[in-house]
Amino acid sequence: MATLTPPRAHTRAPVAVRRPALRHLGPNWYAAVMGTAVVANAGAGLPFHVPGLSVVWALSLALLVVLLAARAGHWLHHRDQARTHLLDPTVAPFYGCMSMAYLAVGIGSLSVGADLIGESAAVPLAWVLYGVGTVTGLVAAVAVPYLMVARHDVAPGSASPVWLLPVVAPMVSATLGPLLVPHLPAGQAREAMLLGSYAMFGMSLLATLVILPVVFSRLIHRGALPLFLTPTLFLVLGPLGQSTTAVNKLADVAGGAIGAPYANGMGAFAVLYGVPVMGFALMWLALAVAMVVRAARRGMGFAMTWWAFTFPVGTCVTGAEGLARHTQLHAFDWLAVALYVLLVTAWLVAGFHTVRGLVNGKLLAAPVTK
């Protein structure tokens, strides 16, 4: 007599196999949003018109929305992996990218987005992105170093430029803040935004000055970074170019927000600070390019770290544009143009390989362990 097998109850799939494509989607993916937004932001300040910048900005906004939804799915369906990322000293610093993605799109909302969606929509959007980006950036700037001290197992000699990511985020807030100053009531509100942005500039700058010597010491004493991490050397350009951009943006609006002695001082500081920092940035760029060429000859393949070729270079473009405004020196205009060509080239290459990696599934596959 045949035995009837009772129908199996419908059970939910284990968390590990639900939405498998999202399991290895880390916070480093926000770098693609940053790299796309900065193409629009940097292009807006060049001495000639660059067509299509509002479309590039719209693409960065769309990427941000899609990525936020995907990352929400990652936390919902793969919470164990998300917690693992937070406790991994090589991944946790990338949480700074989330803040910078908000802020980079927010800067573009004011610089080029108004041409596409109108000022009545661009300004409120910029305020929202500024608020969310600044809060998450300040949290990351404290939380990630805390985790590195209290929870992470950081091996001696493992410092990398990735450590800069969480502490650079407030510097991007210090760049967007001045763009919002004219949209505030005159008086206390404008002065508070101006000086608050200066405070975030100082916070980020001093933290960078603590971390950068450790990174350089690691390079000198331990040698070159692993091949796939070599592009992260470009991340050092981020705080250099972004700080130069920030002080120039702050100087642009200081006259309408604070007394003349301080406003004049901020204008002078923008040049006195920005010129030597830009000089160091160019020296580091040459070093980073040489190290990347060396790594390429040794077989460096594509990884999401290639997006480090975009946003940091873009901050140097905007920094050079700011110096061109305040010095009236055409050499800075030409420097901005040359760096912008490098930025667009890097963006196209990184974007092409990212799309190809998504199509063939390699970029979202589980990392290979040896």
Predicted local distance difference test score (pLDDT) of residue 57? 97
Residue 124 has pLDDT above 90, yes or no: yes
The percent of residues above 90 in pLDDT, for the chain, comes to 86
Residue 151 has pLDDT above 60, yes or no: yes
CA dihedral of residues 116, 341, 95, 111 (deg, nearest 10):
-30
Sign of CA dihedral 246, 56, 283, 164: positive
Predicted local distance difference test score (pLDDT) of residue 14? 45
Per-residue pLDDT tens digits for 237-260 = 999 999 999 999 999 999 999 999
- 7 in a structural domain: no
Q: What angle do CA 93, 97, 99 make, to 5 degrees?
A: 115
Predicted local distance difference test score (pLDDT) of residue 5? 42
Mean pLDDT calculated for residue range 224-243 = 96
Mean pLDDT calculated for residue range 207-222 = 94
CA neighbor of 211 nearest in space, from 158, 252, 270, 161:
161
Would you say 345 and 306 are in contact if contact means Cβ atoms under 8 Å apart? Answer: no
- For the ranges 9-18, 49-58, 227-236, the lowest mean pLDDT is seen at 9-18
The pair of three-digit structure tokens given for residue 105, joined into one six-digit string: 């799109």
Residue 369 has pLDDT above 60, yes or no: no
Predicted local distance difference test score (pLDDT) of residue 153? 87
- 8 in a structural domain: no
- For the ranges 43-52, 150-159, 288-297, 360-369, the lowest mean pLDDT is seen at 360-369
CA dihedral of residues 304, 309, 311, 314 (deg, nearest 10):
-160
- 6 in a structural domain: no
- 16 in a structural domain: no
Predicted local distance difference test score (pLDDT) of residue 21? 73
Per-residue pLDDT tens digits for 275-306 = 999 999 999 999 999 999 999 999 999 999 99
- 74 in a structural domain: yes
C-alpha 242 chain-centroid distance = 10
Predicted local distance difference test score (pLDDT) of residue 123? 97
Predicted local distance difference test score (pLDDT) of residue 24? 87
Predicted local distance difference test score (pLDDT) of residue 19? 58
- 116 in a structural domain: yes
Contacts of 190 by beta carbon, 8 Å cutoff, 6+ apart? 181, 184, 253, 256, 257, 258
C-alpha 159 chain-centroid distance = 19
Query: Rounded CA gap, 263 and 290, in Å?
Result: 40
C-alpha 61 chain-centroid distance = 14
DSSP 8-state secondary structure symbol assigned to residue 229? G
Predicted local distance difference test score (pLDDT) of residue 17? 45
Helix (H, G, I), strand (E, B) or coil at 302: coil
Mean pLDDT calculated for residue range 114-140 = 96
H-only helix segments in 44-162 = 53-77, 79-86, 95-108, 114-117, 119-150
* Residue 18, φ and ψ in degrees, nearest 5: -80, 135
- 312 in a structural domain: yes
CA neighbor of 178 nearest in space, from 124, 123, 125, 249:
249
Per-residue pLDDT tens digits for 181-214 = 999 999 999 999 999 999 999 999 999 999 999 9
Query: Rounded CA gap, 160 and 181, in Å?
Result: 35
* Residue 52 binned pLDDT confidence (cut-offs 50, 70, 90): very high
Residue 321 has pLDDT above 50, yes or no: yes
Element housing 182 (H / E): none
Query: Rounded CA gap, 60 and 146, in Å?
Result: 31
Query: In the chain, how many domains are there?
Result: 1
Instruction: Output the domain CATH number for residue 154.
Output: 1.50.10.150
**Could you count the other beta carbons within 10 Å of the beta carbon of residue 117?**
15
- 272 in a structural domain: yes
- Name the pTM for this structure: 0.91
Contacts of 40 by beta carbon, 8 Å cutoff, 6+ apart? 53, 54, 56, 57, 60, 108, 111, 112
Residue 222 has pLDDT above 50, yes or no: yes
* Mean pLDDT for all residues in the chain: 92
The pair of three-digit structure tokens given for residue 294, joined into one six-digit string: 């060396």
Segments forming the whole domain that contains residue 31: 21-360
* Residue 158 binned pLDDT confidence (cut-offs 50, 70, 90): confident
The percent of residues above 70 in pLDDT, for the chain, comes to 94
